[in-house]
Structure 1
């Protein structure tokens, strides 16, 4: 079952309340998204660790409700 974009955005905002978040549905099917997240939470972390934080914020929905998520993570500034 696809994940509505509003649910994805809500999960990311819960996980990164300080963040600037942009989500785009790449295929119009609710299964393939691109997310750009700018958060202080990523400061000092490798790209892999940043993405692991995002997956943790999704609480197991990646690979289930959410099939594909292209990530761009950054620290502010």
Structure 2
């Protein structure tokens, strides 16, 4: 958890773009958002976030990237640089 209470992630990348630990950390951070009621399972935001976990940000379409950047990424606190 970041100091501001948002879930921290080790890397902004997931899927094949990042190391397995980043995928797990991102997945855990997303689950924290679901548990907190800030993200709903099955919602478009959630589905895009899961795509990032599975395939990495590089797999996002332009529209998905816009959603990820504007509605999901901002809810995640940056983790330490690796």
TM-score higher than 0.5 here?
Answer: no
Asked which structure has the greater RCO (Cα within 8 Å, sep 6+), the reply is 2
TM-score tier after normalising by the smaller chain length: 0.3 to 0.5
